[in-house]
Structure 1
Amino acid sequence: MAHNGLNEFVKTLENKGLLIRIKEFVDPTYEIAEITDRISKQKDGGKALLFENVGKKFPVLTNAFGSIERMLLALEVKTLSDLSKEIDDYFYWLALPRRSLFDKLRLVVEKRSLNSWQPIPVSGRGECQQRVHLDPDLDSLPVLKSWPFDGGPSISNSLLHTASPTNSMRSIEICKMQVFSKNLAGLKLQTHNTAAKHFADYKKLGEHIPIAITLGGDSVYSYAAKLSLSSFLDVYSLTGLLKRRKVKLVKGITVDIEVPYDADIVIEGYIDPQEDLIWGGPFGGQSGFYALADWSYKFYVTCITHRRDAIYPAIIFGVPPTEDDYLLKVSECFLMGFLKNTILPEIEELHSPLMTANKSLSIVKIKKEYPGHANKLANALWGINQMLSNKVLVIVSSNVDIYDLKALALIISTLYNPLYDTFIGKGPNDLDDHACVKVGVGGKLLIDATEKLVEELVNKTAERSIDVETIAERLGDKDLHLFAFSAKLLAQGISALMVSIDKTKGLSSRIVASSLVRKLEEDLPKFIVFVDKEVRLDDVSFVAWYVSGNIDPTRDCFFIEVEGKPAPCLIIDGTRKSFSIDSFNRDWPNIVASNAETITKVNAKWERLGLGDFLESPSVSFTGIQYGNSASVK
């Protein structure tokens, strides 16, 4: 069914037993985030939560899209396969050559069908403007402050609407902004997105940039905006395609920007490009680490409008899995449909495990056709906006199940030759990626685990039989300066060794790796992964998240030379970086976690929340990995 505003989506979720209403008072400062974090990390994402008593007139909805089932309800499809087929068919018909008269006539029909889903402007006021506040006060909204080291309350699950001053191109993108006062917020733009181009155009003209921020409305808007397709496909055209109906748009009250008729809340205002920036943050980031303080544009709010029955939606960013990771997961269906029916037909599947946030690690299955095919594909993927945040790309052949991670690891251990099947590139990255050597630009690692063709067989080396007991004995040497090690994966036939070191003692991963490689000699695995001493090596999923977040492959993925030749083992340094050891000249962020006071408060009120059996705070296992009492490591 169609969801006209969040209230209707809430009713759908409730009718299916997928939502819990919380009537007990819950503080938007820390407590909502802590409760949501516990629920969202349950198997299959837990349930959506509607906090009805938050000290403001608007209830707060969290974890609404935090499962595949709820995403499918939002998109009005039964399975991910249905969604994939629908998107495949769309791009297939767009890309198909039109040779015969029948094909051309069918294209006319298709165009008419596509036109029937284009957004339409509506005169008068929309449901999003049933209440208008020309003396706006951002404090009237239940804006969350999610984590102890956040620089202030921030609005997360919102859509930024801008329009070009020179043509009809509009941009709708996910944004986050910090609230500073009743009518002032800080807004940060990703430089590679369309909104940043609009900003540059207005700055050249010396004019204010009109902006509208929307919250809520049809449950599919957030998904469509998450795809970052504004540069070539209008978000509301995409929404119409997915929903098979037009999106109605209305003009803002104080800005000449169109917004969805059915949005729950609209915040209107402008940026003066001639003004100085404002220092904002830090915030809990999508990666699960803090996005540290940075400069933002001053966003002056001129009007707030909302529905009579408006709901305030919020997404809690933190250590995965979170609601945002499910949004990204479903967006892969669209990305796959676009890629394999347009520029990369050899792609069969793409999978970014939930344990690695924001596509930092992705696995691609391809129909391999020629030598070097994996390298060509990797460069193409890293060149599109939807894969800019990817740092590790594993490419396999079409006979591999990329969702069976253990089987995948065994395939990599068999087919991957570190010296010949490793490629490290460089390109744009997310501005909040803390590990990049330079802000917004970072390394990209390709692991080519495809079946090798005849022309590539010269690169094949003899398989090494590794004696786990011998390795364990050698690693016990105190001169190696290892804090701990785990041969758990080696015992399963996976050629990867995990070790931890204490960098507070001034140890360098490169120096320790050099000694370690020489010590292991013929028992050298294909990978040695370094983490900090606080990380539990028995939790492989956590290690994978920690490492994928902490590396810039141009600095942290390397080989050790032995007797003038690189040893056939890829070293991956997933430790924290510092200036004194690693010549890293920026602050390094802490992991996002609740503080003891918040955890205790939520524990005390748990029975009154109606959430079922008690759930331990995920932050309990993270606090030991935090250093110091701030967003950055001290």
Structure 2
Amino acid sequence: MFRNLGAYLEDLERRGELVRVPEEVSAELEITALADRAFKTGGPALLFENVRDRDFPLVIGLFGTPERTARALGVRALDDLAARVERLLELKPAGGLAGALAMLPKLGELKGLFPKKVRRAPVQEVVLTGDRVDLGRLPVQTCWPGDGGPFVTLPQVITRDPETGEYNVGMYRMQVFGPRSTAMHWQLYKTGRRHFEKARKLGTRLEVAVALGGDPVLTYAATAPLPELPGLYEYHLAGFLRGRPVELVKAKTVDLWVPAEAEFVLEGYVDPAEPFVTEGPFGDHTGFYTPPSPYPLFHVTALSHRRGAVYPSTVVGPPPMEDAWLIEASERIFLPAAQLVIPEIRDYHMPPAGVAHNWVNVEIEKSYAGQGFKVASGLLGLGQMMSTKVVVVTSDAPPKPGFGALLAAVRHLRPERDVVFSKGPTDELDHAPAQVGFSGKLILDGTVKLEAEGPAAAPPVPPGPAGHPEVTAQHAWPGVLAVTIEKRRPGQVRALARRLAADPAVRLLLVADGGIDPANPDALMWWVLANLDPARDAWVEAGRTLVLDGTRKLPEEGARPWPEVARLDEKTLERARPLIERWLS
């Protein structure tokens, strides 16, 4: 593993996976243009050495490919993470002395689990307090033209439960408002928000520290959906993955321990007695702008950093972005734990087009009727899986690649029998539901059916042409028809679906807006699922066709204000084109 970010960058450079950009660039939009191209083409990490009007260089793309993410987490491939966790879960001593001795070699898996406290730290080589703090010195990006301002995008936000003292490290975006203040994007279901609410009830401020950089595994750990276990938090996971303890040093102005090898640490507090500030808009991981919303204000009392510090950043937006590989890392790490709870799971996958919470495929070992629904329901009750909108279950096909698994499920799908609708919580950033954080759920049982479940579905064939004047483009796969339309009126998709369901070959009908390529499965599924609330936008038509209405919804259809896609303007792209051609061609 890597002692700090500098060691990781040296390794990337030796391997030809880091490009140094010496030309002056702007943190406002220009870096996004290069990063977006690198993410979508599997390009290198980018170190911008000269960010206009800022005092520090910026690096982006630390997790820009699955291979790079695996290396950052100390394994050859992301699939190896599951094997490491499986070995940890096998730490169950057999009886007697022989059993205890047999377990000793496995205890090496726990090496590094517990953080180590130190008295001096590189991150405190420079310490600025009070009026000397100026966040404007940092190259904090304004990522998209519609963003409300610059956002810190790779923070490790450290808080402690005011009642129990338990630590938490989470990744919550932070909009910079001035030299010593930011918003703190604590959503309702996040642990940081729970710490904040406890502080409110106790009538006290909540101390906060924000680390940037360090061993890249620390950054990953802040994103991990770690279950809450007494005495364990995200830096324990980081220590387990890196095989040595995370070194922590006491912060200078708050009673918190922070990573000694970080590049920067911001220290301060949030005051629950203060009114919330309006944060956003922000071009989010959904690919759309999330609207302005009220969140707590973070007051910065100290800024410490190492000499020669490098500011780590990322950009989220229309997939695929590098957060897809962080999501896959969590998927691999927590697979063994999911299998402990639901042992018939062979594997599962969250396709990048589903942006983590919109779509999960799961392959099961099936032995009884209804098992597909049982497993899917169980998954929806596991931690952050509760936000998932669509679960696709197979028993004879792997869950990856995502669209391939969906086509495999359609082979065995009779929608009138094999689809279940329900409701539950969803990600607050999901714009499709009429109510924030509350959405429909959809389960597709695409497993091989047993006798008790009724007759097997006939082998699917590609549907014929839609042949409807409102269809602007179309593409078909066996059992699946994807069409695009120009949405003009409420009820338009319902009327179209009645016509297209007349073709008995259409088991799954996907409807998207014009401008989406229906022959591109990833773009198609991203758009359809992002704009889908299964409670309103999914139904079985004519007793045999599952319809997913992925069009933009109108106010007359019960929708909230519909957001725009986060994309760069032509002027920015033109300005960045020479750099893209020079460094990413």
Instruction: Determine the C-alpha separation between the residues in 1 that align with 2:3 and 2:182.
Output: 28
Between stretches 2-11 and 321-330, larger displacement belongs to 2-11
Please state if 1:355 is matched with 2:362: no
Alignment of 1:543-558 (within 5 A): 543-558=524-539
Q: Which residue number in structure 2 is paired with residue 382 of structure 1?
A: 380
Q: CA deviation at 1:183?
A: 0.9
Q: CA deviation at 1:414?
A: 1.8
Please state if 1:539 is matched with 2:525: no
Contact 1:163 1:171 in 2 (8 A): yes
Q: CA deviation at 1:543?
A: 0.7
Alignment of 1:92-111 (within 5 A): 92-93=90-91, 96=92, 99=95, 102-103=98-99
Instruction: Determine the C-alpha separation between the residues in 2 that align with 1:65 and 1:311.
Output: 16
Q: CA deviation at 1:371?
A: 1.6
Q: CA deviation at 1:114?
A: 3.0
Letter in 1 for 2:121: G
Question: Given the superposition, is the C-alpha separation of residues 104 and 437 from structure 1 closer, same or farther in structure 2, using an over 3 Å criterion?
Answer: farther
Q: Which residue number in structure 1 is paired with residue 248 of structure 2?
A: 249
Alignment of 1:522-537 (within 5 A): 523-537=504-518
Contact 1:172 1:230 in 2 (8 A): no
Q: Which residue number in structure 2 is paired with residue 631 of structure 1?
A: none
Instruction: Determine the C-alpha separation between the residues in 2 that align with 1:190 and 1:104.
Output: 45
Q: CA deviation at 1:339?
A: 1.4
Instruction: Determine the C-alpha separation between the residues in 1 that align with 2:96 and 2:434.
Output: 54
Letter in 1 for 2:30: E
Letter in 2 for 1:514: R
Q: Which residue number in structure 2 is paired with residue 571 of structure 1?
A: 547
Instruction: Determine the C-alpha separation between the residues in 1 that align with 2:439 and 2:267.
Output: 35
Q: Which residue number in structure 1 is paired with residue 147 of structure 2?
A: 150
RMSD: 2.1
Please state if 1:486 is matched with 2:462: no
Alignment of 1:477-516 (within 5 A): 477-478=468-469, 482-489=470-477, 494-506=478-490, 508-516=492-500
Given candidates 64, 67, 78, the residue that maps to 1:66 is 64
Q: CA deviation at 1:99?
A: 4.8
Percent sequence identity is: 33
Contact 1:54 1:142 in 2 (8 A): yes
Instruction: Determine the C-alpha separation between the residues in 1 that align with 2:400 and 2:370.
Output: 24
Contact 2:403 2:522 in 1 (8 A): no
Given candidates 363, 366, 387, the residue that maps to 1:365 is 363
Q: Which residue number in structure 2 is paired with residue 418 of structure 1?
A: 415
Q: Which residue number in structure 2 is paired with residue 622 of structure 1?
A: none
Given candidates 458, 463, 476, the residue that maps to 2:467 is 476
Between stretches 73-82 and 197-206, larger displacement belongs to 73-82
Residues 445-498 of structure 1: CA distance to partner in whole angstroms, max 9, x if unpaired? 111111112221x254555666x4xx32xx3344xxx23242432xxxx21111
**SS of residue matched to 2:23:** coil
Please state if 1:592 is matched with 2:576: no
Q: CA deviation at 1:249?
A: 0.9
**SS of residue matched to 1:411:** helix
Q: Which residue number in structure 2 is paired with residue 583 of structure 1?
A: 558
Q: CA deviation at 1:156?
A: 0.6
Q: Which residue number in structure 1 is paired with residue 19 of structure 2?
A: 20
Instruction: Determine the C-alpha separation between the residues in 2 that align with 1:412 and 1:4.
Output: 45
Contact 2:412 2:457 in 1 (8 A): no
Letter in 2 for 1:527: L
Q: CA deviation at 1:524?
A: 4.4
Q: CA deviation at 1:161?
A: 0.6
Given candidates 207, 210, 214, the residue that maps to 2:211 is 214
Residues 498-543 of structure 1: CA distance to partner in whole angstroms, max 9, x if unpaired? 12222235553223323433xx25x341111111123222322211
Instruction: Determine the C-alpha separation between the residues in 1 that align with 2:313 and 2:411.
Output: 44
Contact 2:490 2:554 in 1 (8 A): no
Alignment of 1:76-155 (within 5 A): 76-93=74-91, 96=92, 99=95, 102-103=98-99, 114=110, 116-123=112-119, 125-135=120-130, 136-155=133-152
Q: CA deviation at 1:118?
A: 0.7
Gaps of 5+ in 2: none
Please state if 1:227 is matched with 2:203: no
**SS of residue matched to 1:503:** coil
**SS of residue matched to 1:534:** coil
Q: CA deviation at 1:98?
A: 5.0
**SS of residue matched to 1:498:** strand
Contact 1:171 1:230 in 2 (8 A): no
TM-score (norm 1): 0.87
Instruction: Determine the C-alpha separation between the residues in 2 that align with 1:38 and 1:241.
Output: 33
Residues 579-625 of structure 1: CA distance to partner in whole angstroms, max 9, x if unpaired? 12x121x2111111000110111124445xx4142xxxxxxxxxxxx
Instruction: Determine the C-alpha separation between the residues in 2 that align with 1:464 and 1:324.
Output: 35
Please state if 1:448 is matched with 2:469: no
Q: Which residue number in structure 1 is paired with residue 28 of structure 2?
A: 29
Instruction: Determine the C-alpha separation between the residues in 1 that align with 2:350 and 2:145.
Output: 29
Instruction: Determine the C-alpha separation between the residues in 2 that align with 1:420 and 1:62.
Output: 47
Question: Given the superposition, is the C-alpha separation of residues 204 and 19 from structure 1 closer, same or farther in structure 2, using an over 3 Å criterion?
Answer: same
Question: Given the superposition, is the C-alpha separation of residues 404 and 319 from structure 1 closer, same or farther in structure 2, using an over 3 Å criterion?
Answer: closer
Q: CA deviation at 1:6?
A: 1.3
Q: Which residue number in structure 1 is paired with residue 37 of structure 2?
A: 38
Instruction: Determine the C-alpha separation between the residues in 2 that align with 1:524 and 1:357.
Output: 30
Alignment of 1:598-609 (within 5 A): 598-607=572-581
Contact 2:183 2:298 in 1 (8 A): yes
Letter in 1 for 2:382: I
Instruction: Determine the C-alpha separation between the residues in 2 that align with 1:86 and 1:113.
Output: 8
Q: CA deviation at 1:205?
A: 0.7
**SS of residue matched to 2:172:** strand
Q: CA deviation at 1:145?
A: 0.2
Question: Given the superposition, is the C-alpha separation of residues 448 and 217 from structure 1 closer, same or farther in structure 2, using an over 3 Å criterion?
Answer: same
Question: Given the superposition, is the C-alpha separation of residues 144 and 405 from structure 1 closer, same or farther in structure 2, using an over 3 Å criterion?
Answer: closer
Q: Which residue number in structure 2 is paired with residue 237 of structure 1?
A: 236
Contact 2:204 2:271 in 1 (8 A): yes
Alignment of 1:172-321 (within 5 A): 172-229=169-226, 231-232=228-229, 233-321=232-320
Q: CA deviation at 1:76?
A: 1.9
Question: Given the superposition, is the C-alpha separation of residues 413 and 215 from structure 1 closer, same or farther in structure 2, using an over 3 Å criterion?
Answer: same
Q: CA deviation at 1:111?
A: 6.3
Question: Given the superposition, is the C-alpha separation of residues 99 and 195 from structure 1 closer, same or farther in structure 2, using an over 3 Å criterion?
Answer: farther
Question: Given the superposition, is the C-alpha separation of residues 97 and 363 from structure 1 closer, same or farther in structure 2, using an over 3 Å criterion?
Answer: farther
Between stretches 294-303 and 344-353, larger displacement belongs to 344-353
Q: Which residue number in structure 1 is paired with residue 3 of structure 2?
A: 4
Letter in 1 for 2:166: M
Instruction: Determine the C-alpha separation between the residues in 1 that align with 2:491 and 2:425.
Output: 30
**SS of residue matched to 1:41:** helix
Q: CA deviation at 1:243?
A: 1.1
Instruction: Determine the C-alpha separation between the residues in 2 that align with 1:350 and 1:163.
Output: 33
**SS of residue matched to 1:320:** coil
